[in-house]
Amino acid sequence: MVKVLVTPRSFGKHSDEAKELLEAKGIEVVINPYGRILTEEEMKKEIVDVDGIIVGVDPLNADILSHAKNLKAISKYGVGTDNIDLNYCKEHSIEVSITRNANSDSVADFAFTLMLSVARRVVEVDRACRQLDWGKKTSMEMFRKTLGVVGTGAIGKGVIKRAKGFEMDILAYDLYKDEAFAKEYGVKYVELDELIQKSDFISLHLPATEETHDMIGPREFGMMKDTAVLVNTARGELVDEDALFDALKNKKIWGAGLDVFKKEPPENMGLLELDNIIIGAHSGASTFEAVNNMSRMAAENILKNLLS
């Protein structure tokens, strides 16, 4: 019997459709037995005899993959493949797929939610009210401000579409420009430095690569407006967290909203003590709709690559 390991904890959480798709094809589905992200040693143990893996952010480096004797396909539950050794997979004819656009709307919603919440100090106001402090806290508007979108893939474009309802001026940075989209939505592509200097709100939507590692660091924070809001719903590796802490603590920028960190929880625990940051638990894609979409697409991808 063909065996598939499923590691994401939210897989099929709100619907049996995805699991039933696999079982209808005679596939044995092995659900993550640990109830959390697997360690390297646990992954080595679990993948020994599987034919396919539906994987979240669990590690799949070359050392781990070398323990898989029957592995033919990996279906990423999401789009970021930085936890998978793609070179090893290519060399060993292991098909790798992603659930492209399955959670784009959910993450775009969350990015916009973070921008609004940081600007209007929503969490601070809520926390004060729970302590019976009804004092007013001055905040900032988003309407007709300048938004800088770093990365114009599906999620970045989703943020741009939402921003048009706020009549925002939109700057964008991407090595691969979509000029037709930019023309339709009034987006101006600029260099990253210009975007950082001119934007009131900056939203990051790039993968983690050698080139993007710590791309927002001391230099970039030094160029931002003191009223700037930084939001990251992409990858924690994009932001130098110590530089972020310094910028927030010393009021070099207005605030930040982060749904991702290099490690969860972050190594710089001082971030958790600041009032001008809103922290998410990598939950931008955690909606009923996105979970169902990703589960179904991940199952369809693994079926296509295992049975075709």
Contact of 81 with 58, CB cutoff 8 Å: no
Query: Is residue 271 helix, strand or coil?
Result: helix
- Count of CA atoms in the C-beta half-sphere (13 A) of 218: 2
> What residue ranges in the chain does DSSP mark as E strands?
3-6, 28-31, 52-55, 73-76, 95-98, 146-150, 169-173, 187-189, 201-204, 229-232, 255-258, 277-279
Residue 143: CB atoms within 10 Å: 9
d(CA 308, CA 304): 5
d(CA 241, CA 234): 14
d(CA 156, CA 175): 13
Q: Quick one: angle between helices 104-119 and 122-130, nearest 10?
A: 60
Q: Of 280, 221, 213, whose CA–CA distance to 252 is shortest?
A: 221
∠ Cα 69 73 74 (to 5°): 105
SS3 string of 155-207? HHHHHHHHHHCCCCEEEEECCCCCHHHHHHHCEEECCHHHHHHHCCEEEECCC
Q: Which residues partner with 279 through β-bridges?
A: 258
User: Which residues are known to be catalytic?
Assistant: 235, 264, 282
